[in-house]
Structure 1
Amino acid sequence: MGLICHDVSDPYFAGIAGGVMRAAAEQDLLVMLASTFREPAREIAYVSMLRAQRARAILLIGSGFQDRAWGRAMDAELDPYVRAGGRVAVVSRHRSLRVDTVQPENRAGAAELAKALVALGHREFAALTGPPELTTVAGRSAGFRKGLAGGRASVSTGWCGGAFTREGGHLAARRFLASGGPRPTCVFAVTDVMAVGALAALREAGVRVPEDMSPAGFDDIPVVRELSPPLTTVALPLTEMGEHVIALALRTPSGAGCSRVFRIDGEVVLRGSTAAPAGS
């Protein structure tokens, strides 16, 4: 069985991979693990290799790409593999892939987080979004925007792109801090890893958290509970997501042309990194 993720050093993917490995071990299954580092061509190449090795199942973990050429190339690899009896299950993939899916409710979770932050009194936000070609970025950004609109709030400092890493979040935060415009009272990062980097940048700039600015993330990776202050986020059951995706891959196929979607709700967890803005 092959497990392909974007970057296993990222705690989000490590948590899901841990759930896969634990469930596989209980059934004496061997899992080969590969990281694509978010390179679409590398992902397709790894799928092709697993096909050639006649892997029992292929698990794809992580966002899809908003790229039709990538979608066609992936379909060209997966369709004959499935027709030959191979099994495919994915986490957080593009809807164009007609396979069994564990789908975190990214849009809804981000909308609920935005509403909770608006309820604290925040109206001016910055958003650290990551690579725009990723479907996870699109879903979480759209959900957050929708949640803000309902509370008559806005992203005043802009949607700041960056790598899906601590360094990417750090650099994006430094950019909006140096922009010279009015500072937001709250910063939303589409992943916790980016939020950790942003938190470091705020501290370096002398910005007090949460007194001057409130950062929030998404995923609830373990480290964010140990930060000072701990990070507000949208919690996903990462280990369980890994267990669910391997279970989908090992179940009896649902039928020709059919695919199952196992939806995972996120839970907004308010922690010490967010508070009502001064003067609210």
Structure 2
Amino acid sequence: MARETKRSQGRSALRLVDVAERAGVSLATASRSLSGSDGVSQAVAAHVRHVAQQMGYVANAHARTLAGGTTSVAGLLVYEVGDPYFAEIASGVVKVAATHGWSVQIGHTERRASDEAVQLRLMRAHRVGAIVMAGSGYVDAAMEAEAEKELTAFEDDGGRVVVIGRHHVRADAVLADNTAGGEAVAAHVLGLGHRRLAVAAGPDHLTTIADRLTGIRAAVAAAGLDPGALPVVHAPFTREGGRDAVARILAEHPGTTAVLALNDAMATGVVSGLRDRGLAVPGDVSVTGFDDIQVAQDLSPALTTVRLPMTEMGAVALELALRPAAARPRRRHLAHALVVRDSTAPPP
């Protein structure tokens, strides 16, 4: 115990100047390297971080905050921290943060738009250095007004903001291929011969839902069908939401042969709801999802879905946030991939 206490005291006595001297760099370069700031090559920054780790040096972020600066902490705002979609995005953010010597503070809104501004204010109070918003934007810009005020104030104070998805916010953005993905999965089902389709969609106020529906309707129109007649049932973006949606679909549109769920969590609920009613997947009804969360391939049957590079989305978002602001907001478009598994087959 005494040896451990002595070791801890020795580490706490280390100063940034000691790290700089050992690494053979200036004090300013050492500071930039450990904070992930711009102006230092990756090789030099990695060398300084390695030296600091060997010496047991830990930057005093609390002291920097008290001095009025920001910390080497990124704020990540998600809808639901337990949702596999956001968990995979978070893994990408955390990996990039670790390589730059940053940590991550996660806030979640429990899918309530009113909580976004509250969580953003908390992040600003903790003086995070960057914010990544991973939840969907809203079709109605007014729903983002309070959050936009917080983000604008944060950027005016020198913070960096990156959003994932289509938002009414002037900021760098990482954009998933939602529209093309929706078109691809609908074209697949139509190509199998299905003509009685229905959609189990999430809340209609989300831009993610609007974009995926736009793609599905485009494929329906290309097949010579009326996209306006396509049944769309909105429910929570969860497994239980999928169960509720498929119950309504079967009640209101009997004879449906394929259900397109707009995320994988809803798709699992759709499959469960069909089984409860004695309907086989895909023998009686085909089911598709969206996102390709890790469990999608382990379901029985394995889920046909649209794969989005969620971990990469998180990684790219934080990489953008750690760069200096550009004159115009940057856009990074990431591609989708249709993954055909066992949950889809020709109609009975």
TM-score, normalization by structure 2: 0.76
The one of 240, 263, 275 aligned to 1:203: 275
Judge conservation of contact 2:297–2:303 (CA < 8 Å) in 1: yes
| Alpha-carbon distance in structure 2 between the residues aligned to 1:227 and 1:185 | 20
Please give the per-residue CA displacement for 1:172-227, whole angstroms capped at 9, x wherever unaligned: 11122233x43211100110110000000011111111111100010000101001
| Alpha-carbon distance in structure 2 between the residues aligned to 1:154 and 1:67 | 26
The one of 126, 132, 142 aligned to 1:53: 126
Q: Structure 1 residue 120 and structure 2 residue 192: aligned?
A: yes
Residue 337 of structure 2 aligns with an amino acid whose one-letter code is E
Judge conservation of contact 2:108–2:119 (CA < 8 Å) in 1: no
Query: Match of 1:173?
Result: 246
Q: Which runs of 5+ in 2 are unaligned?
A: 1-73
What are the residue-to-residue correspondences of 1:204-243 with 2, within 5 Å?
Answer: 204-243=276-315
Q: CA deviation at 1:75?
A: 2.2
Please give the secondary structure, in 1, of the residue aligned with 2:190: helix
Judge conservation of contact 1:51–1:81 (CA < 8 Å) in 2: yes
Q: Which runs of 5+ in 1 are unaligned?
A: none
| Alpha-carbon distance in structure 2 between the residues aligned to 1:128 and 1:213 | 13
Residue 285 of structure 2 aligns with an amino acid whose one-letter code is M
Query: Match of 1:265?
Result: 335
Q: Structure 1 residue 129 and structure 2 residue 196: aligned?
A: no
Q: Structure 1 residue 193 and structure 2 residue 265: aligned?
A: yes
Query: Match of 2:97?
Result: 24
| Alpha-carbon distance in structure 2 between the residues aligned to 1:239 and 1:72 | 28
Please give the secondary structure, in 2, of the residue aligned with 1:132: coil
The one of 1, 8, 14 aligned to 2:87: 14
| Alpha-carbon distance in structure 1 between the residues aligned to 2:121 and 2:209 | 26
Q: CA deviation at 1:159?
A: 0.7
Query: Match of 1:75?
Result: 148
Please give the per-residue CA displacement for 1:48-89, whole angstroms capped at 9, x wherever unaligned: 221222210011002012233233222211112112210001
Residue 138 of structure 2 aligns with an amino acid whose one-letter code is F
Q: Structure 1 residue 106 and structure 2 residue 178: aligned?
A: yes
Q: Determine which structure has the larger helix proportion and give its number.
A: 2
Please give the per-residue CA displacement for 1:227-280, whole angstroms capped at 9, x wherever unaligned: 11101100011111111111010012112xx101100111111111001112xx
Please give the per-residue CA displacement for 1:107-136, whole angstroms capped at 9, x wherever unaligned: 111011111111111111010111111111
Please give the secondary structure, in 2, of the residue aligned with 1:71: helix
**Equivalences, count:** 274
Please identify the structure whose Cα radius of gyration is greater.
Answer: 2
Q: CA deviation at 1:33?
A: 0.5
Query: Match of 2:66?
Result: none
Against the structure 1 CA distance between its residues 113 and 52, is the aligned structure 2 distance closer, same or farther, given a 3 Å change threshold? same
Q: Which runs of 4+ in 1 moved over 6 A?
A: none
| Alpha-carbon distance in structure 1 between the residues aligned to 2:99 and 2:189 | 41
TM-score, normalization by structure 1: 0.94
| Alpha-carbon distance in structure 2 between the residues aligned to 1:237 and 1:69 | 29
| RMSD across aligned positions (CA) | 1.4
More displaced stretch, 169-178 vs 153-162: 153-162
Against the structure 1 CA distance between its residues 241 and 46, is the aligned structure 2 distance closer, same or farther, given a 3 Å change threshold? same
Please give the secondary structure, in 1, of the residue aligned with 2:314: helix
Q: CA deviation at 1:36?
A: 0.5
Judge conservation of contact 2:170–2:329 (CA < 8 Å) in 1: yes
Q: CA deviation at 1:27?
A: 2.0
| Alpha-carbon distance in structure 2 between the residues aligned to 1:145 and 1:260 | 29
| Alpha-carbon distance in structure 2 between the residues aligned to 1:74 and 1:266 | 28
Against the structure 1 CA distance between its residues 277 and 166, is the aligned structure 2 distance closer, same or farther, given a 3 Å change threshold? same
Considering Cα pairs closer than 8 Å and 6+ residues apart, tell me whether 1 or 2 has the greater RCO.
1
Q: CA deviation at 1:153?
A: 3.7
Aligned-residue identity in percent: 42
Judge conservation of contact 1:123–1:154 (CA < 8 Å) in 2: no
Q: Structure 1 residue 64 and structure 2 residue 137: aligned?
A: yes
Against the structure 1 CA distance between its residues 154 and 170, is the aligned structure 2 distance closer, same or farther, given a 3 Å change threshold? farther
Q: Structure 1 residue 40 and structure 2 residue 110: aligned?
A: no
| Alpha-carbon distance in structure 1 between the residues aligned to 2:226 and 2:324 | 46
Please give the secondary structure, in 1, of the residue aligned with 2:103: coil
Query: Match of 2:255?
Result: 183
